[in-house]
A and B are shown apart, each in its own frame.
Chain A
Amino acid sequence: MARVVVDVMLKPEILDPQGQAVAAALPRLGVTDVTSVRIGRRIELEFAGEPDLEKVHEIADRLLANPMIEEFAVKVAEEAS
Chain B
Amino acid sequence: MRIGVVTFPGSLDDRDAARAVRYAGAEPVALWHGDDELYGVDAVILPGGFSYGDYLRCGAIARFAPVMTSIADAARGGMPVLGICNGFQILCEAHLLPGALTRNQHLHFRSRDQWLAVESVNTAWTGGFDAGQQILIPLKSGEGRYVADEATLDRLEAEGRVVARYIGENPNGSLRDIAGVTNEGGNVVGLMPHPEHAIDKLTGPSTDGLGFFTSVLKFLTEGRGVAA
A positions within 8 Å CB-CB of B: 13-15, 17-18, 21, 63-64, 66, 68-69
Majority-rule SS of B interface residues: loop
Contact pattern, B 93-108, Cβ under 8 Å of A = 1, otherwise 0: 1000001101111110
Roughly how many angstroms separate A28 CA and B61 CA in the complex, as a whole number? 37
Roughly how many angstroms separate A5 CA and B105 CA in the complex, as a whole number? 29
User: Once the chains bind, are A66 and B93 in contact (CB under 8 Å)?
Assistant: yes
The chain B residue with its CB closest to the CB of A62 is B64
- Residue of A21, A64, A66 with most chain B CB atoms under a 10 A cut-off: A66
Choose one: B56, B100, B105, B106; the contact of A69 (CB below 8 Å): B100
Could you pull out 19 A-B pairs where Cβ atoms are within 8 angstroms?
A13-B149, A15-B102, A15-B105, A15-B147, A17-B103, A17-B104, A17-B107, A17-B173, A18-B107, A21-B107, A63-B60, A63-B61, A66-B60, A66-B93, A68-B92, A68-B99, A68-B100, A68-B148, A69-B102
User: Once the chains bind, are B56 and A14 in contact (CB under 8 Å)?
Assistant: no
B positions within 8 Å CB-CB of A: 56-57, 60-61, 64, 92-93, 99-100, 102-107, 145, 147-149, 173
Residues of the B chain whose Cβ atoms lie less than 8 Å from the Cβ of A63: 56, 60-61, 64
Residues of the A chain whose Cβ atoms lie less than 8 Å from the Cβ of B64: 63
Roughly how many angstroms separate A68 CA and B64 CA in the complex, as a whole number? 17
The chain A residue with its CB closest to the CB of B61 is A63
Additional 13 contacts, C-beta under 8 A, given A13-B149, A14-B102:
A15-B105, A15-B145, A15-B173, A17-B104, A17-B105, A18-B103, A63-B56, A63-B64, A66-B57, A66-B60, A68-B92, A69-B100, A69-B102
